Amino acid sequence: MGTRWIIEGKIDPRWPINTRGNVGEVFPEVLTALGYELGVIPAEQAWREAYFELGIGSPKDFTTNDPVIIGLYGGYAYLNLSYLRMMGVRAPGSSAEAIDVSFFGEGNPPPYVPRKGDKSIGSSLRILKTVLGALGTKSLPDVVPDSIEVVAEYEARRPSLDAPDAELLAYMYAFPKPFRRAFGNHMKSTALAAIVSGVLADACAAAGEPGLVTHLIGAAGSVKSAEYSQELYRLAQMVEADPALTTAFDNASAGTTEALDGLLVQLRADESATEFVTEFDKFLAEHGHRGPNDWELSSRTWDNTPSLALLALDRMRGAEGDLAPSTRLGDDDAKRQAAIAKVRPHLNKMDALNFDKAIKAVPFWAQAREATRDRAVRINMPLKQVYRELVRRAAEKGGDPDPVSVALLYPKAELPKYLEDPTSMLDVIAERRALFDRFASIEPPFFLTAQGDVPTIEELEAEKAASAVAVSAGTVLEGSAGCSGVAKGRARVVLDPAEAFDLEPGEVLIAPLTDPSWTPLFLPAAAVVVNVGALMSHAVIVARELAIPCVVAVEGATDKITTGMMVEVDGTAGTVTILDE
């Protein structure tokens, strides 16, 4: 069998097609035992409940309580494409193909093959009611305030970090219930955002202008994930307006997080920097829960690793021109109206009616999707604070100081024992960390279609070694349209937002995928290209809010494009052209 990860799911033969599409933004890295048991399992339960409520799913769809919608294969999380397609199969007027485009975007998925039990008259009637309600949305949906409430309740219950180990562990173990509620709200808003945007995508396809959907959706306004970038940009402007702050940042831009950590200590001790420090602390209080791989419960955040936010701020300052999104979005509405005028004449009366409703409703669902996502991540922060305190205590007794490594222990079966005697489990942690690093160095397959297709780490490493491909001038890489516009610039390949020290204003950001911790890096970039993404993926929504040309689902972009290449990004056509090497 070869080497396997510490947790490995089994592909359900009823729902065999699994994909990294979309979930790559939520769980971009190898999953830990901590993240799986306390996060993925309740997320699966919440997802099923959300789909049952919306009419998309039925309890009869599943024969096991083990995760099926969010599978774990070859070290990485996958979404079950077979099951998510039921949203299109069972929704009147939709299709499995429409869901593929909206959720995943990656070309050439295994085709949908109808099977007994896929269609359901009862589900179709319930979904029709849900869709009509979604198209009639005229304000921010109720799922948003409900998410705010449950997160506030869990945060308020967090014990003091001076509390005994047992009390901190009990708080961690209580996490799945409130997280399940918050994540369920996110799944509802995500499903309805996909359905509403799918109406617009279908209309553009009917008009023979599929790329116009980027204009129709446009900027939603008040999108949480874009707020981070806008607020950091304001802080960057504060730095540029103050010669002393500018000098301090110039001296700290040495290409290391340690330098930025030292900068923050320096600024906190400097009375002349009080205003900046106060505003930066406000930013951390409001947005500190975000960071790379922020759904993973052992991950870095702006709260526990402020240098990540300082790095993003540092990359913004000194950019030529006005980076304010409000300036660059000046023609957004004009583009939307022109697209409506092109598409609407091609629709029949009923489709035109739904089209008009979708145009009005889609901004609210885009906002709701990102707002509920933000709260579902926010609820992780107090747990992460408690968990990191436990890791710190164990490290003082000879344990491993790395929260990710310790998270490879099973949280209920092994973590309590580790906290009692940390040195007794160092060999277990080291063995699992070595395997974790091997999985982290490879790119998982985009699709898995049967249990026998799940590769071993040895097979993945061999495939990586054999697949290195260079591209030459004139090559056109195909992807999916994200945010409209054309931009040229030198490519800057960034695999981790914490390593973006060399990203210069005006360069084209080439990334494997993006979660909210990446969004501050969008502002100085001329354009954004990602390996994985789709119509309603995070990178696309934020790129629209910031008016940055974006192409997603460019398979292997970070391997094929190298830093320094001159490229042209066409966010409407969904292409990246290599201009020179």
Q: 102: exposed, middle or buried (C-beta count within 10 Å: 0-12, 13-18, 19+)? A: buried
Are both 37 and 172 inside the same structural domain?
yes
Residue corresponding to tokens 């906290």: 419
CA–CA dist 31, 447 (Å, integer): 18
d(CA 19, CA 365): 24
| Cα angle value 225/380/306 (rounded, 5°) | 65
408 and 514 share a domain? no
pLDDT by residue for the chain (581 residues), tens digit each? 567 899 989 999 999 999 887 787 778 889 999 999 999 999 999 999 999 999 999 888 999 889 999 999 989 999 999 999 998 888 877 788 877 776 665 456 888 999 988 988 888 889 889 888 999 998 888 999 999 999 999 999 999 999 999 999 999 999 999 999 999 999 999 888 888 887 888 888 888 887 777 677 755 455 566 677 778 888 999 999 999 999 999 887 656 777 888 899 999 999 999 999 999 999 999 999 988 888 999 999 999 999 988 988 888 886 665 656 555 555 567 888 888 999 999 999 988 998 999 999 988 888 898 899 999 999 999 999 999 999 999 999 999 999 999 999 999 999 999 999 999 999 999 999 999 999 998 878 888 988 778 888 998 888 877 766 668 888 999 988 888 889 999 999 998 887 888 888 889 999 987 776 777 788 788 999 988 776 666 667 777 767 789 998 888 888 889 999 999 999 988 999 999 87
283 by DSSP, 3-state: which? helix
Whether residue 495 is found in the same domain as residue 370: no
Q: Please give the C-alpha separations between residue 570 and each of 63, 203, 326, 488, in angstroms, as whole numbers.
A: 45, 22, 21, 9
Residue 227 in domain: no
pLDDT at 172: 98
For residue range 310-347, list pLDDT tens digits in order.
988 888 886 665 656 555 555 567 888 888 999 999 99
Angle at 527 between CA 523 and CA 528, to 5 degrees: 90
Kindly state whether residues 62 and 143 are assigned to the same domain: yes
Indicate whether 410 and 490 sit together in one domain.
no
> Is residue 322 included in any domain, yes or no?
no
Domain that holds residue 494: 476-580
- CA separation, residue 237 to residues 71, 232, 251, 362, 524 (Å): 43, 9, 17, 32, 13
Which helix (H) or strand (E) element contains residue 73?
strand 70-73
Would you call 3 helix, strand, or coil by DSSP?
coil
pLDDT tens by residue, 1-35: 567 899 989 999 999 999 887 787 778 889 999 99
- Phi, psi torsion values for 530, nearest 5 degrees: -130, 150
Residue 517: what pLDDT?
72
What's the pLDDT at 516?
66
% residues pLDDT > 90 (the chain): 48
For 92-160, the DSSP string reads TT--HHHHIIIII--S-PPPP---TTS--HHHHHHHHHHHHHHHT--S--THHHHHHHHHHHHHHTPPP
**Is 229 among the domain residues?**
no
CA–CA separation, 139 vs 324, rounded Å?
Answer: 26
Do 61 and 175 share a domain, yes or no? Answer: yes
In a domain, 468, yes or no: no
pLDDT at 332: 65
Backbone angles phi, psi at 563, to 5 degrees: -55, 135
Contacts of residue 454, Cβ cutoff 8 Å, sequence gap at least 6: 8, 11, 73, 74, 448
From first CA to last CA, the distance across the chain in angstroms is: 41
Q: What pLDDT does residue 226 have?
A: 65
Helix (H, G, I), strand (E, B) or coil at 365: helix
Residue ending a domain, among 385, 418, 451, is: 418
Q: What is the CATH number for 568?
A: 3.50.30.10
Gap between the Cα atoms of 177 and 158, Å rounded: 14
Residue 456 lies in a domain: no
Q: Residue 508, SS3? A: strand
Instruction: Answer whether residue 460 is part of any domain.
Output: no
Between the CA of residue 265 and those of 248, 262, 268, 277, what are the distances in Å?
Answer: 11, 5, 5, 10
Residue 548: predicted pLDDT: 86
Residues 129 and 212 in one domain: yes
Secondary structure string (H, E, C) spanning 393-448? HHHHCCCCCCHHHHCCCCCCCCHHHHHHCHHHHHHHHHHHHHHHHHHHCCCCCCEE
Q: Which of 388, 403, 418 is the last residue of a domain?
A: 418
Site of tokens 């290449």: 565
77 assigned to some structural domain: yes
Query: What pLDDT, in 10s, does the model give residues 171-197?
Result: 999 999 999 999 999 999 988 888 888
Of the candidates 311, 323, 201, 328, the one whose C-alpha atom is nearest the C-alpha of residue 260 is 311
480 and 380, same structural domain? no
pTM of the model: 0.85
> Are 40 and 164 within one domain?
yes
Q: Are 224 and 344 in contact (CB under 8 A)?
A: no
Contact 453, 19 (CB under 8 A): no
CA 273 to chain centre: 33
Per the structure, the count of domains in the chain is 2
Please give the torsion angle defined by the CA atoms of residues 78, 82, 87 and 93, in that order, rounded to the nearest 10 degrees.
Answer: 140
Q: How far apart are CA 509 and CA 530, in angstroms?
A: 8
Burial 259-274 (b: 16+ CB within 10 A, else e): bbeebbeebeeeeebe
Instruction: Select from 393, 418, 443 the last residue of a domain.
Output: 418
Q: Each residue of 461-520: pLDDT tens digit?
A: 888 777 666 688 889 999 888 888 899 999 999 988 878 888 888 899 999 877 767 777
The one-letter amino acid at 359: I
Radius of gyration of the chain (CA): 23
Evaluate whether residue 527 is within a structural domain.
Answer: yes
pLDDT of residue 561: 93
